[in-house]
Structure 1
Amino acid sequence: MSKWPRAVALACAGVIAMTGSLGVAEPVAAAPHDTNAHEVARVLSISPTTPTRATVTVYSPAMQRPVRVSVLLPSDREKRRPTLYLLDGIDGGIYTNYTQSGWTFQTDIVKFMADKPVNVVMPIGGMAAYYTDWQKTDPVLGRNRWETFLTKELPPLIDKRFNGNGRNVIGGLSMGALGAMSIAVRHPDLYRGVVAFSGCLDQGSPEYRQATAASVSTRGGNPDNMWGPLGHSSWDDHNPAAHIEVLDGKPMYVSVGNGLPDPSLGIAGLASPVGGVLEGVVLQCTRSFKRRADAAGVKVTYDFRSGLHSWGYWNQDLHRAWPTIAKGLGVRR
């Protein structure tokens, strides 16, 4: 018997065990029956938390509902500046009742980015949506058109309201890592760099697709509504490994753990017992991605480190990836 069916099953069970109850669904406003084709994305409100942090609510015509994003700003806001977009993991805000991103709730990103001359934009929500445009509205997960929102609707609003200069880097962790890399290969002109932490970046094999689809199912969604059945060509269209050559020459940083805890991180380096299994699956997927990127002659900075599938390591990854991010954004390190 292949090791993959068991590994995938354990990984999916691990997602449930690590995140607890699946009974909380992201609040989704009912979509109108008739969509105005001439609707435009617009800022509905800006709620400052501090002078350098705000929650911005944007109406998305693509998703036909308001979407909240967390924005971090530098203390010096006179000059135009680049923007870092960071995508969340599979629960996308659930732990804070969708009041903030996992990035601001689980890491030291607010402090770490305080002296950096960039905007940081983090969507709040997107549970199990992989930050992509779904083929169909899902009865549980709702209408997901995240790719359109993140690439067409949101960036012009951020640049206009927060003095952006149009230079962007995108990144994410776990689900958000695949989402970020998939968006980047589909919109290479929009991003100067990509960072991906603990994400399965090669969706070319049935085993990796099964793992991704199963993660959607753990949150009550029907994965066929995303990119269709596992053999559908849309899976190929969204597979970063199959199109990585379009990002050749851009700064890229990919990290993944070896499935073993790093004692130096203490409590922050722990996870549920299945955190190692999850990261082990992602490790194999990352090696597959690297083989394909190497074959295409695309240079990527890899960090094959110790660690589990948990926030303590992703916080560390953010710090380690900063030189790559800074290069993409064109700012000092």
Structure 2
Amino acid sequence: MSPILDARGLRAWAVLLAVAALLLPVAPRALAATPGPPVLTDGHGLTQVGSTGTATDFTITVTTPDVAEQHPIRIILPPGYYDDPARRYPVLYFLHGSPDSPVNQNYPALRSSNSMITVIPDGGARGWYANWRDQNTAAGAQRWETFHLEQVIPFVDDNLRTVAAKRGRAVAGISMGGLGAMRYAQRHPELFTEVASLSGGLDLSAASMGLRLAVVASLTNAPGGFCGSASSTGGDCTGSYAPAVSSDALFGSPYPVFNLDRLWNEADPASHMGRLAGVGISIYTGSGAGDPLSPEFWIEGANKHARDSLNALGLPYYYVGYGNGAGWGTRCDGNHNAGCWAQDLVDYVPRLERAFAAG
């Protein structure tokens, strides 16, 4: 065979091979593995014992000598967090209700922000975002304020690109978390530039004795807490607060006799709204559709007490009383439930983003 024929034959084979390749099924391109949670460094009294989730929505589990047992902390990062290593983000500390968990806070608005980090620390089933007066109960150590403010906040600042200053922090919460958010901002206004309460029981004074006794019910594991058919979890929550502890464990005696309840009065947000001067205040509440069997009926009264206090002080605030829920989203009925809180957050998150941007 001549060299010319050999060259032509080779070209013919090359064409045939190319055609055959086009006719063969194409192998799928290998997908990149989904990155897991970032590696964070222990510190400030927190020891990590596990993590789960994605690179931008993950939960770490920690232990601390200040609160018995293990505790999840959910962290939601903006989608572009890893794109610009020099950019820092403000942080919303979002406090859950009772009895609930950070992992259940699946409100779409909390995952919608491109401009802030959201941190959802565990508050326990009935921790009430406070350092309990009695640390020797069957529940073990219960120093929740220490855990959140002296451990979680600096841990987050050390491990993530945060704006580690008052202008870069907000605290908000639902139900028990709304009360906790208001108390934290009142006790530490140097830490937070904005505070929001969504259906928080903002009056622990004897003027709202029903709410005070609901807190006591969670301590003693008795019916009558913030649970029930209208709660975020649904159903009767009796049994969720074990082990039962004394009614005095949280703030001492809850009964207004001879000033024995002075620590409850000190913890009452409605009586101390003046401490929030310089902090942006937002309050959301329904009316329970006027039904005294709904927790929101009593919470509305407490929130009105807080609003009256703000009016008397002349402090600016943002207040939404959505009544029976008509016109407030498609799932809100004015009761103490996630349908209303989801709409609260649809309203609140963009407002908070603007406040952070302006700060």
What range describes the TM-score normalised by the shorter chain of this pair? 0.7 to 0.9
> Is this contact kept in 2: 1:250–1:328, CA < 8 A?
no
Q: Look up the SS of the partner of 1:129 in the other structure.
A: coil
Where do 1:129-278 residues align within 5 Å?
129-137=127-135, 139-166=137-164, 167-205=168-206, 207=209, 208-217=211-220, 218=222, 219=241, 220-230=244-254, 231-260=260-289, 277-278=294-295
- For 1:194 and 1:287, the matched residues in 2 are separated by 17
Aligned counterpart for 1:76 among listed residues 80, 88, 111: 80
Deviation at 1:205, TM superposition (A): 2.0
Deviation at 1:295, TM superposition (A): 0.8
Counterpart residue identity of residue 63, structure 1:
V
Where do 1:100-111 residues align within 5 Å?
100-104=102-106, 107-109=107-109
Residues 309 and 138 of structure 1, relative CA distance in 2, 3 Å threshold: farther
- For 1:302 and 1:327, the matched residues in 2 are separated by 17
Aligned counterpart for 1:320 among listed residues 347, 352, 357: 347
Question: For residue 97 of structure 1, what is the aligned residue in structure 2?
Answer: none
Counterpart residue identity of residue 103, structure 1:
Q
Where do 1:3-82 residues align within 5 Å?
40-45=44-49, 47-63=51-67, 65-77=69-81, 78=85, 79-82=87-90
Question: For residue 128 of structure 1, what is the aligned residue in structure 2?
Answer: 126
Percent identity over the alignment is 27
> Is this contact kept in 2: 1:86–1:123, CA < 8 A?
yes
Deviation at 1:63, TM superposition (A): 2.2
* Larger-gyration structure (1/2): 2
Residues 184 and 297 of structure 1, relative CA distance in 2, 3 Å threshold: same
- For 1:275 and 1:60, the matched residues in 2 are separated by 40
Q: Look up the SS of the partner of 2:203 in the other structure.
A: coil
- For 2:276 and 2:153, the matched residues in 1 are separated by 20
Residues 276 and 193 of structure 1, relative CA distance in 2, 3 Å threshold: farther
- For 2:44 and 2:279, the matched residues in 1 are separated by 31
Question: For residue 296 of structure 1, what is the aligned residue in structure 2?
Answer: 313
Higher helix fraction (1 or 2): 1
Counterpart residue identity of residue 154, structure 1:
V
Counterpart residue identity of residue 289, structure 2:
L
Corresponding pairs, count? 272
Residues 223 and 320 of structure 1, relative CA distance in 2, 3 Å threshold: farther
- For 1:275 and 1:176, the matched residues in 2 are separated by 22
Cα deviation code 1:54-107 (max 9, x no counterpart): 1123332322654320100112223111111111111122xxxxxx43313xx3
> Is this contact kept in 2: 1:276–1:309, CA < 8 A?
no
Counterpart residue identity of residue 46, structure 2:
R
Cα deviation code 1:157-209 (max 9, x no counterpart): 10111111112100111111111111110011001111101111122225142
Q: Look up the SS of the partner of 1:177 in the other structure.
A: helix
Deviation at 1:138, TM superposition (A): 6.2
- For 2:280 and 2:351, the matched residues in 1 are separated by 6
> Is this contact kept in 1: 2:172–2:181, CA < 8 A?
yes
Counterpart residue identity of residue 281, structure 2:
M
- For 2:103 and 2:178, the matched residues in 1 are separated by 15
Residues 73 and 331 of structure 1, relative CA distance in 2, 3 Å threshold: farther
Indicate the RMSD between aligned Cα atoms, in angstroms.
2.4
Residues 282 and 186 of structure 1, relative CA distance in 2, 3 Å threshold: same
Higher relative contact order (CA 8 A, sep 6+): 1
Question: For residue 29 of structure 1, what is the aligned residue in structure 2?
Answer: none
Q: Structure 1-normalised TM-score?
A: 0.75
